[in-house]
Chain A
Amino acid sequence: MTQAGHEEQSGKRHRKQRSQPPLLEWISAAVGLLLTLTVLGALAWEGLMGPNGAPPAVEATVSRITPVQAGYVVEVELHNRSSATAAAVEIEGELTKSDGTATTSTATVDYVPGESTRNAGLFFKDDPRRHRLEVRALGFAEP
């Protein structure tokens, strides 16, 4: 018993004298190494497979139309088919009625990263399902 107490007391000193780090230290260092290599590897892979100077290519498609009290919401899905990021992407929806009159609504999306999709919405007074609706991305800025 007395020896155990003595051992505990000298625990702090003992810690300093040991040359071998505790098992947990090895485990967390291994996890850290794994994560470090994963992050570096993924970034390097992306860097090598990277933009290749190709500009962002954003496609807009209508994903859903929902009637609301004030009219209709057209949800638009933006898909960037290039690996370059597009910033400040402006989208426009044009609703053309059968009599030839057209109304447009626009929205701006802060970022559409490469190979990613982002969603936006456009509001219309008339039912887009009963008229001709065209959505497209108007332009972007480089981030």
Chain B
Amino acid sequence: MASQAANEHPNRKYAIGLARAFGGAIIFGLPNLMTMEMWFLGFYLDRTRLILFLLVNFAILVGLSRFSGFEETASSKEDLLDALAAYGVGVIASAATLTIFGILLPGMPLGEIVGKIAVQSVPASFGAIIARQQMRGKTDEEEDEERDVAERRGGYGWQLFLMVAGALFLAFNLAPTEEMILIGFKMSPWHGIALVLVSLLILHAFVYGVGFAGQEQPPEGSGFRRVFISYTIAGYGIALLVSLYVLWTFGRMDGADLTQIASMTAVLAFPSAVGAAIARLVV
């Protein structure tokens, strides 16, 4: 009896975690699930780029599972299991929601159905892996332990990784819409420069004001210049690279000239920078 109870207990806990993951998948997935550009991308997005993006997404999931470290014993094996489960939840949640919306119909060819689900599975799986940490009730003791883990893993590399994850998530949410291109057309070069400066300002305000995961203060003895260069400028660099990558994935750069690419990247780097800045708060 006792051993059976002990066996059931972790399973029950895990089931609750799974339910939370579904909740997170729906919350983070909804903006995309209800955007028609995302449905269309499902069937015309270049397959090589889509597969590459899914692999990048999976690597991010593994990394997020590692970083959040909600279990002391978290090993690479468990990170992999977590990432797989989160991706599974993302796929199931996306497929179910799209079916209810009538976006997936039985007569559609397999390629269209899989494509539509695959595109949506990215933000949904991101939500799933975040939710397992965010939505569970934490005791003070657990929070302390988490802070320990975060501090242990709060090295510079991990901070940059978190920025990549946050930037990727927000960029992915916004890049599919026509507005990204439209805003680029509407802005003059001066608007563009102002947008870059504002992005940097916001990023720096978050980095400096909010502090780092597991750290109340910026790193010891680090002045304004150090924080600005190693976090704000580095973070904005990440935002730009992520924006370029996402624009390429969605085929926005095909046939565009350099000025257009620059303005689209500056526009998308704004949400990317915000994503990079707040990632540490969300995860």
Q: Which residues of A contact B (CB under 8 A)?
A: 3-4, 7, 11-12, 14-19, 21-26, 28-36, 38-40, 42-44, 46-47, 50, 83, 85, 87, 110-111, 113-117, 143
Query: Shortest CB–CB separation between residue B52 and chain A, in angstroms?
Result: 10
Known A15-B71, A28-B18; further 19 A-B contacts with Cβ < 8 A: A15-B10, A18-B73, A21-B81, A22-B11, A22-B13, A22-B14, A25-B14, A29-B82, A29-B88, A32-B84, A32-B87, A33-B88, A34-B88, A36-B84, A42-B111, A46-B115, A47-B47, A50-B47, A113-B109
| Residue-wise interface mask of B (84-106) relative to A, using a CB-CB cutoff of 8 A (1 in contact, 0 not) | 11111101100000000000000
**Bound Cα distance from A110 to B47, whole angstroms:** 21
Are A24 and B14 neighbours in the complex by a CB distance under 8 Å? yes
Query: Shortest CB–CB separation between residue A57 and chain B, in angstroms?
Result: 15
Query: Shortest CB–CB separation between residue B159 and chain A, in angstroms?
Result: 26
Are B92 and A35 neighbours in the complex by a CB distance under 8 Å? yes
Tell me whether B43 is interfacial, beta carbon within 8 Å: yes
On chain A, the residues within 8 Å of B115 by CB distance are: 43, 46
Q: Which residue of B lies closest to A41 (CB)?
A: B114
Q: Which residue of A lies closest to B108 (CB)?
A: A116
Query: Shortest CB–CB separation between residue A84 and chain B, in angstroms?
Result: 8
Partner of B50, one of A28, A43, A111, A115: A43
Partner of A46, one of B9, B47, B54, B108: B47
Contact of A111 with B121 at beta-carbon distance under 8 Å, contacts A32-B86, A32-B88, A36-B58 already known: no
Partner of A28, one of B9, B47, B88, B118: B88
**Bound Cα distance from A57 to B72, whole angstroms:** 57
Query: Shortest CB–CB separation between residue B6 and chain A, in angstroms?
Result: 7
Contact of A43 with B47 at beta-carbon distance under 8 Å, contacts A11-B9, A21-B78, A24-B14 already known: yes
Are B44 and A85 neighbours in the complex by a CB distance under 8 Å? yes
- Contacting residues of chain B (108-153) with chain A, CB-CB under 8 angstroms: 108-112, 114-115, 117-118, 121, 139, 142
Tell me whether B185 is interfacial, beta carbon within 8 Å: no
Are A4 and B2 neighbours in the complex by a CB distance under 8 Å? yes
Partner of A113, one of B7, B11, B43, B114: B43
User: Nearest 6 CB-CB pairs, A to B?
Assistant: A32-B88, A47-B47, A32-B84, A22-B10, A113-B43, A29-B81
On chain B, the residues within 8 Å of A113 by CB distance are: 43-44, 109, 112
* 11 A/B residue pairs, CB under 8 Å, sorted by A: A4-B5, A7-B2, A24-B11, A26-B81, A29-B80, A38-B114, A39-B114, A44-B51, A85-B44, A116-B108, A143-B44
Tell me whether B248 is interfacial, beta carbon within 8 Å: no
Are B85 and A28 neighbours in the complex by a CB distance under 8 Å? yes
Partner of A36, one of B15, B44, B87: B87
Are A31 and B13 neighbours in the complex by a CB distance under 8 Å? no
Q: Which residue of A lies closest to B55 (CB)?
A: A40
On chain A, the residues within 8 Å of B47 by CB distance are: 43-44, 46-47, 50
On chain A, the residues within 8 Å of B40 by CB distance are: 87, 110-111, 143
- Contacting residues of chain B (52-86) with chain A, CB-CB under 8 angstroms: 54, 58, 71-73, 78, 80-86
**Bound Cα distance from A24 to B15, whole angstroms:** 7
Tell me whether B4 is interfacial, beta carbon within 8 Å: no
Are B112 and A31 neighbours in the complex by a CB distance under 8 Å? no
